[in-house]
Amino acid sequence: MAAPARYAVIGNPVGHSRSPRIHALFAEQTGEPIAYTRLEAPEAGFAAVAEAFFAGGGSGLNVTVPFKEAACAWADTLSKRARAAAAVNTLRAEADGRRHGDNTDGAGLLRDLRDNLGVAVAGRRLLVIGAGGAARGILPTLLDEAPGEVLIANRTAERAERLAAERPGVRACGLEALAGQGGFDVLLNTTAAGLQGQMPALPGELLASGAAAYDLVYADADTPFMAWARRHGAALVADGLGMLVEQAAESFAVWRGVHPRTAPVIEALRGG
């Protein structure tokens, strides 16, 4: 009997990642023979760790904070959505030895917002907090949904402006310039600050009536961003667990050619 194909999630930090359990549940559901683990790489050591994994027979990697842009530069070939995002969260070993980069973040976020949470993007005012690899990954898919407006806000305004400049019609500002911008229908926190129990100071008037606040990170309790949104009356507050499962299902399909059912996995991870 052949050994199971080897996959892993690479990041820093990565000890909190639920990806091994998610992919174990996908494998059980689909009958696909895989083994999945975590790889923590030094902040300047992504390429060396990824190279060693694939050279040792690894079949694929999920890429998380802070390596999505580094993975995009490292991959030999890129999917259309990875090129659009300029960020990679999924790497696959090809038969010819090359490494193919894809990005499933946008598809995962949209499925969770639209299908699981009933949040529409078309025609709405969107605020994206953060301008790193996670923001890059979701922007192309969000823009395909024709939102009414997209504003990117980042602690360093210049980084937000560089990202916005790549997307016609997208505006950018520093976090300190958010006061006076009015209310947004959908607020997306793409920063990882919540993993350290932190969040930037945000004015409460950013939440329009009926607003949805979504944190791309996930935790056992409310993140600081989610707690802020609840205090200021958001109609819907969610973490990124649903997105994590949905993008993982997309990655699983990239690797194995099978798209698992996500609802039972989300329920299992929520303790249902």
Alpha-carbon gap, residue 151 to 169, rounded angstroms: 9
Per the annotation, does 256 bind a ligand?
no
Per the annotation, does 130 bind a ligand?
yes
The answer for residues whose C-beta is within 8 angstroms of residue 192's C-beta and 6 or more apart is 65, 66, 134, 217
Per the annotation, does 64 bind a ligand?
yes
Using alpha carbons only, what angle is made at residue 66 by residues 65 and 67, rounded to the nearest 5 degrees? 100
Residue among 23, 68, 100, 111 flagged as catalytic: 68
The answer for residues whose C-beta is within 8 angstroms of residue 144's C-beta and 6 or more apart is none
Per the annotation, does 185 bind a ligand?
no
Per the annotation, does 131 bind a ligand?
yes
Half-sphere exposure of 98 (CA within 13 A, CB side): 7
Q: Tell which residue, 172, 82, 173, has the closest CA to residue 136.
A: 82
Alpha-carbon gap, residue 203 to 185, rounded angstroms: 15
Per the annotation, does 17 bind a ligand?
yes
Q: Tell which residue, 110, 126, 231, 142, has the closest CA to residue 189.
A: 126
Per the annotation, does 19 bind a ligand?
yes
Per the annotation, does 154 bind a ligand?
yes
Say whether 80 is catalytic: no
The answer for residues whose C-beta is within 8 angstroms of residue 234's C-beta and 6 or more apart is 187, 207, 211, 212, 213
Per the annotation, does 216 bind a ligand?
yes
Per the annotation, does 132 bind a ligand?
yes
Per the annotation, does 272 bind a ligand?
no
In a 3-state reduction of DSSP, which class is residue 108? helix
Per the annotation, does 156 bind a ligand?
yes
Annotated binding residues for shikimate: 17-19, 64, 89, 105, 218, 247
Catalytic residue annotation: 68
Annotated binding residues for NADP(+): 130-134, 154-159, 216, 240
